[in-house]
Amino acid sequence: MAPYEIRVIGDPVLKQAAADVEEIDSKVVRLVDDMVATMYAAPGIGLAAPQIGVQKRLFVWDLDDGTGPHAIVNPEIVESDGEWTFQEGCLSVPGLSWDITRPNRVHVVGRDLDGNEVSYEASELEGRMFQHELDHLNGVLLVERLDDDQARDAKRQVRDIMLGLDKEKPPSRRLSLR
């Protein structure tokens, strides 16, 4: 069983910007360990602290590339360029995904769990993951990246799931686009 429940669309915590982590201590390390377990149980490739109701600027990820799980504290994108459209989903918008265009390459800086500065140059899936998780830290959900037609479709899909009209996706009482 996952240590945390992942918050889903409609939960107000997902719309709030997270606060900087002031001190990287044993509580933060324990939080990261629990977030990694929750991410794996979901399953997902990334998980931001606000997705489990913790308003701190950190996220975890594992791209299944053999390097294991990672965490970054107080991350920020300092450069981005290019453009890449890819189908993107979100653990907080379960069962749904859309083609989203984002910058292809990003340069992200932050801190590791030892407090050391870290820097990542990332593109394609890794770059998208960084941007997606940073959106969560800024209170931005995937559905806010949709164009008008996609947004209308998203509202319909969420409504159908809520009303039990979409038999392929499980209903969730907490799922709403309010």
Annotation says 133 is catalytic: yes
**8 Å CB contact between 109 and 78:** yes
Which amino acid, one-letter code, is at 152?
A: R
The tokens for 116 are: 């050391």
DSSP 118-156: EEEEEEHHHHHHHHHHHHHHTT--GGGGS-HHHHHHHHH
The tokens for 159 are: 């409504």
d(CA 137, CA 57): 6
The tokens for 166 are: 């979409």
Task: List the catalytic residue out of 76, 83, 133, 144.
Answer: 133
Q: What strands lie across the sheet with 58-61, from one edge to the other?
A: 46-48, 58-61, 70-81, 105-111, 117-123
Closest residue by Cα to residue 109 from 117, 101, 99, 97: 117
Catalytic residues: 133
